[in-house]
């Protein structure tokens, strides 16, 4: 019979390895279980360490691990674990076929940690830049409950919805940013190249130029002679804003200003409420305690005002209060959200209420983004028309004035 080299855990939880005879890997796994061992990996004459050395050269893409990569990883991990494959073998397979070099490297380190006796949760905790607190808490709950595959499915669904929200917000912001940049470049080109040519004509005409023309000519002179001041001023503003935003007070001032922006403010609030409700719903469904869940929700909220409100809620619950009251007191969450949470607490259906809130606000984000896309284009066209129209009219006003004098 063929020999199989195995890695397994004994009843004390220690990792042991060895060689056993069996007809096939399934028979080898059954034999190990009869000996009181939990198989981690079984290979034909080569364990995971040897297999790692034989891996094919990797020619995948570099770059950091993104949310979409974690969605695929979570979904495939759940499917393979549900199929009965040993965890160490699953990590090995996913590491080999990872598209990103960064994810491949992290999974290789996770595999090594598990081989050395760490739990899956402990191995993931060593890589907080890839696996955030939410992901790790969900895996921990899955390991503790023996439902890792089911909870990983929840994680994948949650990450898919989060990635979808991010894409929608990004599309709503990217379009006006791109069109606005193009409009700015067109304006600078007109002021830099076209206006000086008209200025020579104005000098030949003589007389006093109209106010609009003088403003345009002055802007042209400034851009031609002191263009570097624009870059210096822009750099100073960006650095000052960045430093201010990094402070505790500054971060809250900026986040409060974001929520008060016309059009975009309500969109950001809806995104924040949807993320809060979805995250808390998934965590409570996975069996994470409410206090731990609130701490994770606060850290993943994306807005310091929501973070403060959630942390205040956590402290209030520790003091014996309900979940809804401190959310009402914060003034951040809409009344519908706090009312539904209150009803969910009183009826024992908090998880379902949070899921309904998340669904509702995700739909609202869809509708708002669609409305923005339909409004932004004509607004940008009008803005560009006004700027270019101002420059063109200011250039032709002296010519019109000269024609009036000739006709007169």
Q: How many domains does the chain have?
A: 3
The C-alpha torsion from 265 through 268 and 270 to 276, rounded to 10°, is -140
Q: Which two tokens stand for residue 220?
A: 């042209």
CA distance 370 to 379: 15
Give the pLDDT confidence score for residue 11 in this predicted structure: 65
> How confident is the model at residue 57, as a pLDDT?
43
Mean pLDDT, the chain, integer? 81
pLDDT at 206 over 70: no
162 with 116, same domain? no
Q: Is 378 exposed, middle or buried (0-12, 13-18, 19+ CB in 10 A)?
A: exposed
Among 26-30, 57-61, 177-181, 396-400, name the one with the lowest average pLDDT.
57-61
Residue 140 lies in a domain: no
List the structure tokens of 336: 């519908």
pLDDT tier at 408, thresholds 50, 70, 90: low
pLDDT at 236: 94
Distance in angstroms (rounded) separating the CA atoms of residues 366 and 94: 33
Residue that wins the pLDDT comparison between 297 and 19: 297
- Cα–Cα distance, 280 to 57 (Å, whole number): 41
| Separation CA 293–CA 163 (nearest Å) | 20
Tell me the average pLDDT across 95-106.
Answer: 85
Residues 176 and 44 in one domain: no
CA nearest 109: which of 119, 98, 124? 124
Query: Tens digits of per-residue pLDDT, 246-289?
Result: 898 999 999 889 888 887 888 888 888 988 988 888 888 888 88
* Residue 239 confidence (pLDDT) above 90: yes
Q: Residue 342 is encoded by which pair of tokens?
A: 């209150």
- 262 & 196 share domain: yes
Q: Which of 74, 93, 94, 90 is nearest to 153 (CA)?
A: 74
This model's pTM is above 0.85: no
Q: For the purposes of burial, counting CB atoms within 10 Å of the CB of 229, is it exposed (0-12), middle (13-18) or buried (19 or more)?
A: exposed
Together in a domain, 46 and 74: no
pLDDT tens for 209-226 read 778 888 888 888 888 788
Q: Give the span between the Cα atoms of 84 and 82, in whole angstroms.
A: 5
Q: DSSP 3-state helix, strand, coil percentages of the chain (rounded to 5)?
A: 75, 5, 20
Nearest 5°: the CA angle 139, 144, 148 is 45
Residue 64, φ and ψ in degrees, nearest 5: -75, 160
Q: Is residue 239 part of a domain?
A: yes
Q: What is the pLDDT of residue 360?
A: 92
Question: pLDDT tens digits for 309-361?
Answer: 888 888 888 888 888 888 888 888 889 999 999 899 888 888 899 999 999 98
Chain centre to alpha carbon of residue 160: 11
Q: Which of 31-45, 69-83, 111-125 has the lowest mean pLDDT?
A: 31-45
- Whether residue 244 is contained in a domain is answered as yes
Least confident of 42-51, 73-82, 112-121, 362-371: 42-51
Q: Does residue 4 surpass a pLDDT of 80?
A: no
CB 391 within 8 A of CB 191: yes
Q: Please indicate, yes or no, whether residues 285 and 404 belong to a single structural domain of this protein.
A: yes
| Dist CA 346 CA 137 (whole Å) | 26
Q: What is the CATH number of the domain that holds 79?
A: 1.20.81.30
* pLDDT score of 14: 67
Residue 330 lies in a domain: yes
Indicate if 118 and 191 belong to the same structural domain: no
Answer yes or no: is pLDDT of 53 > 60: no
Has residue 59 been placed in a domain?
no
Residues 403 and 341 in one domain: yes
Whether 73 and 47 map to the same domain: the answer is no
Task: Starting at the earlier edge strand, list the strands of the sheet with 38-43.
Answer: 15-21, 3-9, 38-43
Q: How many CB atoms lie under 10 A from the CB of residue 319?
A: 8
47 and 93 together in one domain = no
Q: Is residue 98 part of a domain?
A: yes
Residue 151 forms part of a structural domain? no
Domain containing 28 equals 3-53
Tokens read off for 188: 């600078």
Integer-rounded Cα radius of gyration of the chain: 31
Asked whether residue 243 falls in the same domain as residue 392, the answer is: yes
407 within a domain of the structure (yes/no): yes
Q: Are residues 116 and 231 in the same domain?
A: no
Residue 228 and residue 161 share a domain: yes
What are the angstrom distances between the C-alpha of 307 and each of 68, 134, 275, 293, 327?
24, 15, 12, 13, 11
Q: What is the pLDDT of residue 207?
A: 64
pLDDT at 51: 43
Residue 120: pLDDT above 80?
A: yes
Q: Is the model more confident about 58 or about 252?
A: 252
């Amino acid at each position: 019979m063929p020999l199989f080299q195995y890695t397994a855990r004994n009843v004390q939880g220690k990792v042991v390895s060895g060689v056993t005879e069996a007809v096939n890997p399934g028979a080898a796994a059954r034999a190990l279980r009869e000996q009181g061992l939990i198989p981690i990996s079984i290979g034909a004459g080569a364990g995971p360490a040897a297999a790692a050395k034989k891996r094919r050269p990797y020619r995948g893409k570099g770059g950091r691990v993104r949310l979409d990569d974690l969605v695929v990883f979570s979904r495939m991990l759940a499917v393979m674990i549900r199929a009965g494959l040993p965890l160490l073998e699953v990590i090995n397979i996913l590491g080999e076929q990872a598209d990103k070099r960064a994810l491949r490297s992290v999974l290789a380190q996770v595999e090594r940690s598990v081989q050395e006796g760490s739990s899956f949760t402990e191995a993931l905790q060593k890589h907080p830049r890839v696996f955030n607190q939410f992901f790790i808490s969900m895996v921990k709950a899955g390991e503790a409950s023996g439902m890792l595959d089911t909870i990983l499915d929840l994680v994948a669904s949650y990450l898919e919805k989060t990635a979808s929200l991010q894409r929608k917000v990004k599309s709503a912001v990217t379009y006006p940013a791109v069109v606005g940049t193009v409009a700015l470049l067109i304006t600078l080109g007109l002021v830099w190249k076209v206006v000086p040519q008209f200025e020579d004509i104005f000098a030949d005409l003589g007389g006093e130029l109209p106010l609009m023309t003088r403003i345009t000519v002055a802007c042209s002179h400034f851009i031609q002679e002191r263009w570097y001041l624009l870059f210096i001023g822009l750099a100073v503003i960006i650095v000052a804003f960045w430093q201010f935003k990094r402070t505790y007070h500054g971060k809250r001032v900026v986040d409060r200003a974001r929520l008060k922006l016309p059009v975009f403010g309500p969109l950001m609030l809806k995104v924040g409420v949807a993320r809060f409700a979805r995250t808390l719903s998934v965590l409570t469904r996975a069996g994470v305690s409410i206090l731990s869940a609130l701490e994770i929700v606060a850290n993943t909220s994306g807005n310091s005002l929501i973070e403060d409100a959630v942390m205040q809620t956590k402290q209030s619950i520790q003091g014996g209060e309900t979940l809804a009251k401190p959310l009402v007191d914060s003034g951040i969450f809409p009344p519908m959200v706090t009312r539904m949470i209150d009803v969910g607490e009183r009826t024992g259906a908090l998880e379902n209420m949070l899921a309904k809130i998340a669904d509702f606000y995700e739909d609202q984000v869809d509708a708002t983004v669609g409305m923005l896309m339909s409004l932004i284009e004509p607004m940008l066209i009008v803005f560009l028309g006004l700027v270019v129209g101002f420059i063109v009219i200011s250039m032709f006003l002296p010519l019109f004035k000269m024609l009036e004098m000739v006709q007169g």
